[in-house]
Chains A and B, each alone.
Chain A
Amino acid sequence: MDSKSQNQEMKITITLPTSAYFISGIRDFTLNMVKSTTNFEEKWAYRFQSVIDELCNNAIEYGSAPGQDIKVTFIHSPDNFLKIIVEDTGTGKNKMTAKELETLFNERRKPDHVFTGIRGRGLIKIVGEWSDEIKFENSKEGGIKVAITKYLKDARKKDDGLSKISEQKTNPEPIILNI
């Protein structure tokens, strides 16, 4: 990869069937992609693995019906941030708006919220804790789009010198994988 393309923002979109059986592949992809193409510390590759797993599980369980799909998008801005977006089709068993999901997220994020039972920790304890920004939006197709952003500044590999931040292209050539 030449130096010009190394500084370009990278966008990868993957479409998956609504099935938990495919999530391990996305986890592996996330782990390897973060390790090999970003300057995040290695521990963040494992954290993003968990983040993507939790977001995809929620989209599969609640957001998209069996036979439908979910869409996962990675946007990497070199020396700046990694953004992960997971989108469902809104056909799942728990129809919810982005606003309702955001309200639920904020409720469970309160310090006095007690987690009981087996479920419900993923979005708060993993996704919320390991991202700098999280946004919930209604998608045009009727589903929900959850976007998390993690900035590199606090998570840079320690043995990597500061890279020169060059101008970023805002219209990258997208890579689209359909599984």
Chain B
Amino acid sequence: MTDVKITIEDTAGQADKKVKIVHIVGQLDESNVDEKIKEIYSVIETNPQNLHLIFDLENLEYMNSKSIGYLTDIYGKLTETGGKMAIAKAK
């Protein structure tokens, strides 16, 4: 399986919204994306309103089209519930 590590970092945020940084290191492809993406959906489930996610992709070496599809799905889920999504340092 291709290696990837996802860590989710809390930030100070504001009273009415939670801001987290999602650091993805390695490669996301068909061998691992379905399993690893659950970690992010789990955060969305436990923060159902006003969740803001910043995806730090500085050390993401590869992502396949399904990964992009997941990002669009996550974007939809966040924005429907008052949240936002940003992508930073994509290669």
Contacts and interface: CB of A to CB of B under 8 A. Distances in A.
A1 to B, nearest CB: 29
B46 interface: no
Nearest to B2: A24
Contacts of A119: 65-66, 69
Contacts of A53: 29-30, 62, 64
A27 B62 CA distance: 10
Interface residues of B, number: 15
A126 B67 CA distance: 13
Given A49-B62, A53-B64, A57-B64, A23 B29 contact: yes
A117 B73 CA distance: 7
Interface in A1-35: 20-21, 23-24, 27
A168 to B, nearest CB: 32
A20 B65 contact: no
A52 to B, nearest CB: 11
Contact of B64 (A21, A117, A120, A122): A122
Interface in B29-68: 29-31, 62, 64-66, 68
Contact of A118 (B27, B31, B70): B70
Contacts of B64: 50, 53-54, 57, 122
A54 B65 contact: yes
Nearest to B32: A20
A20 B29 contact: yes
A121 interface: yes
A142 to B, nearest CB: 24
Q: Looking at chain A, what size class is its interface with the partner chain?
A: 20 to 34
B1 interface: yes
Nearest to B74: A118
Contacts of A49: 62
A125 interface: yes
A93 B66 CA distance: 19
B68 A24 contact: no
B30 A118 contact: no
A49 B62 CA distance: 9
A166 B15 CA distance: 69
Interface string A46-88: 0001100110010011000000000000000000000000000
B31 A122 contact: no
Interface string B60-91: 00101110111011000000000000000000
Interface of B: 1-2, 27, 29-31, 62, 64-66, 68-70, 72-73
Query: Across chains A and B, which 5 residue pairs bring their CB atoms closest together, nearest first?
Result: A118-B69, A122-B65, A20-B30, A20-B31, A121-B65
